[in-house]
Structure 1
């Protein structure tokens, strides 16, 4: 029996089908970029160097798998709602980057056709899915929900704003960062890294308007997985970091602190939610 306010809070079939189609492509990308980062010259749509950049992109896709599996499995739209604007922005930026650096791609390779097809269609299809579902959220808490404290929401949103601003700056003017970034970049990889950095910003800002932990639990799981993969990339591709630049060690420390902070925040909210600290109480 459904609880009050949940009847319309559902994920439409179109959105589930879209998630089911996207997940296998993300899985393939994780294998090619994260497990085989030094072979992108023969396996991927374009050659990515150094390996850390490939693994960084693969880490974003790993989080995407978690997110879209939740989209596929969850019964309630509000649990995944705020991830969709982030995906639209990320995919749109990668589409723009593709056409700005068209000459860098491996024309004729199956990965090239796959990449171009996905980034021509994904921004539109995900935007349509978001539009079809958006108003399905009744904006009511779940029975054992938790109201995230205002101070925590503002702090996390500010972190997101900083990441988003850095991502936009890197995307718009990548050449300005080539000599100061934490590892070697090209204009194309700079724009890709910038697009990835917009993801937490586009998610975290919604905390300013919605305190429900249930609306962010699944998305924070995806972010945690991405952070774990990024941390792994920093270990296995540590040689790619430019340790003689301040940005090198700063990035490594920032990821470590972010992983600890996100994990602590997730555990705290889960415990409070299970304790019955419902929104509005």
Structure 2
């Protein structure tokens, strides 16, 4: 499944990043301004990192917390597509789009259900436990992103009037779907402290956040500074990038120390 999905994400990210002004011709639908295309592409870059990791993973617990986020994200995009079919181009890209999103949420959900008993709940052979305050902090950031994303999806017309750049009802729902990813992943931090269970996902989040930062710098002119959501969006991205980066650096340093000692940093079960 991961090997089948990854090429779609690679092609989509390439088209959105390098041809943002030709999305009506080359992508599934015309996207304007390019900042919306870049935001969706950033989610695809994180998805590439995640699914390549899924294809290589040998233990279910290392990838399991990413599957609910994929189901929610892909399911939301399927609903948005069905609500706005008149906005889509009748081309090969749309055929690939509708095929991907009509199947992915159901296939991923089925695979996660089939694997549900494959995680024993114990740390990996060499593992560390994330601090409680860090997990709660990231859960709060994720919760804020999810609430904003859900509001944008349910009330796209209202979101279009206040968001950091111009949106249509369709791009408002797509943007809301992208924001939902962080919240769905981070809620699992409240019940699972194992770094091995989030290491791949944090890498995917950092790749996506780095792409968003670059997108903001490249498309600075797309931002509408008379709207209060512009500084709020930038603050949320900045807080997420700093938090993920700090937790990753701390856990990786502890993990290297544990590997040198040939031990698990915290012996007791981390859930």
- TM score, norm. by length of structure 2: 0.94
Rounded Cα–Cα distance in structure 1 between residues aligned with 2:209 and 2:170: 22
Match of 1:104 in 2: 87
- Is structure 2 residue 175 aligned with structure 1 residue 187? no
Structure 1 stretches of 4+ with a deviation exceeding 4 A read: none
SS at match of 1:134: coil
Rounded Cα–Cα distance in structure 1 between residues aligned with 2:96 and 2:71: 18
Q: CA deviation at 1:159?
A: 1.2
- Is structure 2 residue 13 aligned with structure 1 residue 30? yes
Rounded Cα–Cα distance in structure 1 between residues aligned with 2:114 and 2:89: 36
Pick aligned residue for 2:203 from 201, 218, 221:
221
Match of 1:125 in 2: 107
Gapped regions of structure 2 (runs ≥ 5): 259-264
1:167-206 paired onto structure 2 within 5 Å: 167-206=149-188
Pick aligned residue for 2:123 from 141, 145, 164:
141
Seen in structure 2, the aligned counterparts of structure 1 residues 279 and 89 have a Cα distance that, compared at 3 Å, is farther
Match of 2:239 in 1: 257
Alpha carbons 1:212, 1:279 under 8 Å: kept: no
Pick aligned residue for 1:82 from 65, 68, 78:
65
Alpha carbons 2:40, 2:178 under 8 Å: kept: yes
- TM score, norm. by length of structure 1: 0.91
Q: How many residues end up aligned between the 2 structures?
A: 263
CA RMSD of aligned residues (A): 1.2
Rounded Cα–Cα distance in structure 2 between residues aligned with 1:134 and 1:50: 41
- Is structure 2 residue 31 aligned with structure 1 residue 48? yes
Q: CA deviation at 1:279?
A: 4.7
Rounded Cα–Cα distance in structure 2 between residues aligned with 1:150 and 1:250: 26
Pick aligned residue for 1:280 from 256, 268, 271:
268
SS at match of 2:117: helix
Alpha carbons 1:157, 1:201 under 8 Å: kept: yes
- Is structure 2 residue 76 aligned with structure 1 residue 93? yes
